[in-house]
Structure 1
Amino acid sequence: MTSALMLAIAMVLDAALGEPGWLWSRLRHPAVVMGNAIGWLDRQLNHGPHRRAKGMLVTIVLVLAGWGLGAALAWFGPVVEIVLCAILLAQNSLLAHVRAVAAALRRSLQDGRAAVALIVSRDTSAMSEAQVARSAIESAAENLSDGVIAPALWFLIGGLPGLLIYKAVNTADSMIGYRNDKYREFGWAAARLDDLLNLIPARLTCLLIVILSGQWGQWRVIVTDARRHISPNAGWPEAAMARALDVALAGPRSYDGQVRDLAWVNGDARREIGAPEIFRACTMLWKVWGLALAGLSVWVVLDLVF
């Protein structure tokens, strides 16, 4: 069975079943296992001198472990590969979390703040309705790339080893890839490798959104906005999503009580937004998923014919 066919089946399984609560209440999710391992390495090594070298060692260990474990599990056959791929894709869970913010925001601003706090790391206690909506849409766009397109692409390229390497590095980046005193040195290698692994997926996600929203005429300004973003990769899907929805994203935000004056994405568009725009972003997530699956299906058919 080809990687393309296994990925197509896994995408459908993930979209249909998501994260069964009954299963993960009894077993530890692979992402949780990765997180626990990275947390242990952080506690053991992130102190004293040579933190950057120690962080590089951790990153190498994660890559080798992902490759070795992926190769070992792939030996059990395509069923195991499909199931693990479906588990490590995040289309269904991403949509559930983002929709939850929109539903909560419709109830009250306080509920919206509480819901968005579950998916972003910025300060949420004093957010306006528009800030909650922007945060949810930005998270949707970025995680469409990180949680769906990137793992799918790395599975397609490298099979289960490629997928596990990507997920391990991406999990490490989310835990230790911060530019603060504690992680600036120790998380440097993980953050840089994560940037590299997401270079193509982020731009591919941007391209898919542009195709679906018919924003070809805005390509130059989308690229300009993407390059002004604080992240070398997150700005691409966010810039495309902002143009697709005709809303302004990014801009000033607060982390740990400190307001950071970040650049706007599509800054001349509407800034007073709310739950309806979040739901429209969710619709775009499904459209991108559908286009990616359609392209993959064509690939599978061509493989079978030729």
Structure 2
Amino acid sequence: MTLFLAMLLDAAMGEPKWLWSRFPHPAVVMGRAVGWADQRFNHGDQRRRNGIATMVGLACAALLLGWALSRFGPLVEIVIAAILLAQRSLVDHVKAVGTALRLSEGDGRMCVAMIVGRDTSDMDGPAITRAAIESAAENFSDGVIAPIFWYALLGLPGLLLYKITNTADSMIGYRTPRHQDFGWAAARFDDLLNLAPARLTALLIALTHGVFRHWPAIVTDARQHRSPNAGWPEAAMARALNVALSGPRSYDGERRDYPYVHPEGRIDPGPDDIDAATRALWRGWSVVLAGVLITTVLAAAF
């Protein structure tokens, strides 16, 4: 019942500005810890070794903290779990892109720049839309399904372990001269922890949108993606909405000619498709919520 109530609380409250303008969000605290480790240990000739040791230390600290916090009872656990889920905030951020894009492409570019890491200055309407939908699909896996999955398996320690790993990957898990070695462990561990959730997210989207018959094509597209996990929810969302996702884009001024996911889909999506993506997020979330409730009731009965 704890997970069920945490999901409801997250859906109702999201990320209240009045709270996080006064106190640091746990994700911010985690980011500070990763940043401190990056500054302190990312140097010398043994950067990969240092990165592995850092990731082990962060993981152990997360597990220990999760165990300690769980000793305070279910109310504390519900609140913390709700804070570390991201369904409401994800939907709000993605939906805001569609709202802004209806005003102008310039507004859409400014809004989508808040949720993606690629260059946005030259994006047209369809590119803005694709970026928003891709972010919706990938973050539904990273920010909603994966945290639920690891909480269901290992409780609060599992949730904190996943969140610190995901935070570390987002900060140091890049193949740049500075982080290629030091961030190697964070990136690989994040890949491992997202292995099952990413595929479950794709399956969830496919089943809730009647496109499971396209599963072989979803698998093919997912395996061609540059990420071992992000391609799965993206490929499923592309077919759920019948739009072509991914494709060419630019990072730090360098054009990357990535292939389209579901190239047979519409290549000119717009704000209505962003709205459809947010509805897909709620549909998938509702099925998971129902599954959590049914599992809880059956466990209590037997």
Deviations 1:91-119 (A, max 9, x none): 00000100111101110001100000000
Structure 1 stretches of 4+ moved >6 Å: none
1:19 maps to 15
2:53 maps to 57
1:44: Cα distance to partner?
1.4
1:128: Cα distance to partner?
1.1
Extract unaligned runs of 5+ from structure 2: none
Deviations 1:134-158 (A, max 9, x none): 0000000000000000001101101
- Given the alignment of the two structures, is residue 193 of structure 1 paired with residue 195 of structure 2, yes or no? no
- Given the alignment of the two structures, is residue 285 of structure 1 paired with residue 278 of structure 2, yes or no? no
Residue of 149, 152, 160 corresponding to 2:148: 152
C-alpha contact (below 8 Å) 2:203/2:212 kept by paired residues: no
- Given the alignment of the two structures, is residue 242 of structure 1 paired with residue 229 of structure 2, yes or no? no
Deviations 1:174-224 (A, max 9, x none): 001111111111110000000000000000000110111111211100100
2:123 maps to 127
Map 1:13-162 to 2 at 5 A: 13-162=9-158
1:47: Cα distance to partner?
2.1
1:304: Cα distance to partner?
2.0
Residue of 202, 205, 211 corresponding to 1:209: 205
1:48: Cα distance to partner?
2.3
3-state SS, counterpart of residue 19 of structure 1: coil
Q: Distance in 2 between matches of 1:269 and 1:147?
A: 26
Extract unaligned runs of 5+ from structure 1: none
Q: Distance in 1 between matches of 2:63 and 2:41?
A: 22
Q: Distance in 2 between matches of 1:190 and 1:243?
A: 31
* Letter paired with 2:103: R
* Letter paired with 1:251: G
How many correspondences in the alignment? 302
Deviations 1:64-88 (A, max 9, x none): 0100100111111111111100000
C-alpha contact (below 8 Å) 2:221/2:231 kept by paired residues: yes
Residue of 248, 251, 272 corresponding to 1:255: 251
C-alpha contact (below 8 Å) 2:116/2:135 kept by paired residues: yes
Residue of 156, 172, 175 corresponding to 1:176: 172
- Given the alignment of the two structures, is residue 300 of structure 1 paired with residue 296 of structure 2, yes or no? yes
* Letter paired with 2:95: R
Q: Distance in 2 between matches of 1:183 and 1:271?
A: 35
C-alpha contact (below 8 Å) 2:134/2:245 kept by paired residues: yes
Deviations 1:38-66 (A, max 9, x none): 11111112222111111111100110010
- Given the alignment of the two structures, is residue 270 of structure 1 paired with residue 266 of structure 2, yes or no? yes
Deviations 1:222-242 (A, max 9, x none): 100000000000000000000
Q: TM-score under structure 1 normalisation?
A: 0.98
Q: Distance in 1 between matches of 2:282 and 2:130?
A: 19
Instruction: Let me know the Cα RMSD of the aligned residues.
Output: 0.7
